[in-house]
Amino acid sequence: MKNPESILELTIKKQWFDMIASGVKLQEYREIKKYWISRLMTEANGQQIFKKFQAVRFRNGYGPNAPAVTVELKGIKIGSAVPEWSGSWPGIVFVLQLGQIIINKTTIMNRQGIRSEIERINEEIIRLKEQKTELIRSRLLLCDDVSQFEEKTESHPPGKSQLINQWLDGSLVGRVKWTETHIDEGDGTPVFINRQAIVRVDGKWTGIEPQFESLIKNQS
């Protein structure tokens, strides 16, 4: 929505505005007349094609504080109007096919409404974080030329192993191994450093998965 030209601005009656704002009305219509042809179409390679709009901003009124709702525009076509969405508009018309509501400024929320919206957003943030963690875990389980995952039962008997590893004795340990490339500041030659980290023990994730986000982002 950063480009204002990607948003089609329309003013409509309250009946249709309320239906769009509530997600009931999934199409908006315009007559096939010279004005709307110029608003909705353009010429390319000698042919008339529909302009590319990302969204439609509907307003119910002309004042600066008029209720407004911005809705995804999935496409424009020529067809017939749905009677319950148009007041039985006859004939062939431009059909604006609407998608999800992006911004809804039709109401002013009270304290409870604001609190509920904050809680909803927080729940969505938690859900997205969990989804991201699952994606990172899926990536760590892959073996390719960037990183390798290996899981096996390890033996670290007392007296023969470093104390830091003895707690893993007899455990099923999953390790991710990768190679970091650094440039020597002296002669500019590449320096390769092998790294590894424990990400699972006995099938349970260790919780360090978020640390690998930057590694995944930097992979080609």
Whose CA is closest to 16, among 56, 51, 44? 56
Helix H or strand E segment including 151: strand 147-153
Q: Give start and end residues of each alpha helix (H) in 28-92.
A: 34-40
Q: Answer whether residue 164 shows pLDDT above 70.
A: no
Tokens 């992006």 found at: 102
Average pLDDT over residues 156-175: 78
pLDDT at res. 2: 44
Residue partners of 207: CB distance under 8 A and separation at least 6: none
Q: Which residues of 1-37 are buried (b: 16+ CB within 10 A; e: fewer)?
A: eeeeeebbebebeeebbbbbbeeebebbbbeeeeeee
For the ranges 1-10, 53-62, 111-120, 195-204, which has the lowest average pLDDT? Answer: 1-10
Whose CA is closest to 96, among 69, 127, 68, 74? 74
Tell whether domain 4-105 is in CATH 2.30.130.30.
Answer: yes
Average pLDDT over residues 151-174: 80
- Residue scoring higher pLDDT (156 or 190): 190
Could you state, in order of their start, the residue ranges of all structural domains in the chain?
A: 4-105, 139-217
Name the pLDDT band for 5 (thresholds 50, 70, 90).
Answer: low
For the ranges 6-15, 75-84, 113-122, 209-218, which has the lowest average pLDDT? Answer: 209-218
Name the pLDDT band for 118 (thresholds 50, 70, 90).
Answer: confident
| Helix/strand/coil for 168 | helix
What gap in Å lies between CA 54 and CA 153, rounded to an integer? 54
Whose CA is closest to 59, among 14, 29, 98, 23? 14
pLDDT at res. 107: 56
Return the amino acid letter for 70: T
Q: Are 94 and 46 in contact (CB under 8 A)?
A: no
Q: Answer whether residue 198 shows pLDDT above 70.
A: yes
pLDDT at res. 58: 94
Average pLDDT, the chain: 86
Whose CA is closest to 12, among 53, 61, 54, 55? 61
pLDDT at res. 181: 87
Helix H or strand E segment including 132: helix 111-140
